[in-house]
Amino acid sequence: MASRPLVLRTQRAYICPSCHNHQRHLTTTARLSAISPESPRYIDIPTPPQQTSTPTKRIKGVLPVPRDVMARRTPASISASIRDRTTPHEPTSPKERFEAHMTSLRKTNLRTAAEALHVRRTAAEKETQQRSRASRRERDAALLAPEHFADRLTAPTLDASVAAELARYERKAALPDPAREKRLVKARKRVARTEEGLKARRADALHTLYMNARTFVVDEQGLNRAIDEAFGTVDEPHNFGGDMPSLWSKGAPPKINEMALGMAGLGRSALQRDVELGQMEVLKDRVRRMAEGVTGGKMDP
């Protein structure tokens, strides 16, 4: 009896009966039922391809400002320090060979450093000058550039008088005064009239002074004569329009306080002394006022 052929069967994985209908096959299209409405991918929005940008390389540190190598030393001294020997010398010992090697290395480094510093400084100065000239050109171009059409079209419409006033304010000019010349002519005429009046009054005053100079009191005899003419002499005093002599010819009359002191029992000598002092003060005041009236000047009391 022939045997049956052996059939190999693969065992399938267990699938839940409730999930059997939701099984998805291999596909690239997402089903709406697989993405919830809360997900940002619920609505398919095309995205641009990834943009590649070259990252900026960070340069650590800053080079110092190149110094002027010729500030303290002359080119001749630098050339003398880096020049080679005029006569060749072959070292004979290891120490001399080492020193010769170090000397050559020092000269090479000094020469290279001086050249590099000079190149760097020249390049830095040239770049600074170019930047300054470019900035100056941009500034001059901006200052001398005509008005942009957008500014001209959007500028507010101003009255001619307002525009002229704004232009005058920008120029810091004076206010317009059409009647200035007429006012100046009137002012000059007014000043001329005032000057003429002052000149005439000054000439009249000078002439009056000249005419009255003959009666000026310039010495003691003239003063005594003027006093006698005004008040008379002791023998013939002036009565000032009356028959009786003047009340003040013998001094001031007694005051109320003097009479009260006399009634209070003061001595007659003290009362007489006060009366004499009062008469002297009155006489001094009269002489001072008379001298002021005659001479026309103020005198000290």
Query: What is the token pair recorded at 188?
Result: 């000059």
Share of the chain above pLDDT 90, in %: 14
- Would the pLDDT of 248 be above 70? no
- Would the pLDDT of 132 be above 80? yes
Which has the higher per-residue pLDDT, 259 or 44? 44
Highest mean pLDDT of the ranges 54-58, 64-68, 94-98, 126-130: 126-130
CB-CB neighbours of 113 under 10 Å: 12
Closest CA to 249 of 261, 231, 269: 231
> Residue 1's pLDDT is what?
46
Which has the higher per-residue pLDDT, 169 or 74? 169
291 and 223 Cβ atoms separated by less than 8 Å: yes
- Would the pLDDT of 199 be above 90? yes
Q: Which of 30-44, 256-270, 287-301 has the lowest mean pLDDT?
A: 256-270
Q: Which of 22-36, 53-67, 211-225 has the lowest mean pLDDT?
A: 22-36
The SS3 of residue 183 is helix
CA distances from 46 to 41, 43, 49 (A): 10, 10, 9
> Residue 119's pLDDT is what?
87
Pairwise CA distance, residues 301 & 288, whole Å: 7
Query: What is the token pair recorded at 270?
Result: 């003290």
Pairwise CA distance, residues 225 & 238, whole Å: 14
> Each residue of 224-246: pLDDT tens digit?
888 888 777 777 777 666 666 66
- Would the pLDDT of 210 be above 80? yes
Which has the higher per-residue pLDDT, 189 or 56? 189
81-109: average pLDDT: 84
Pairwise CA distance, residues 151 & 274, whole Å: 100
Q: What pTM value is reported for the model?
A: 0.30
Highest mean pLDDT of the ranges 42-56, 73-87, 112-126, 253-267: 112-126
Domain map of the chain by residue range?
75-84+92-153, 248-295
Mean pLDDT of the chain: 78
Which residues are CB-neighbours of 84 under 8 A, at least 6 positions away? 107
Model confidence at 191, pLDDT cuts 50, 70, 90, reads very high
- Would the pLDDT of 268 be above 60? no
Model confidence at 198, pLDDT cuts 50, 70, 90, reads very high
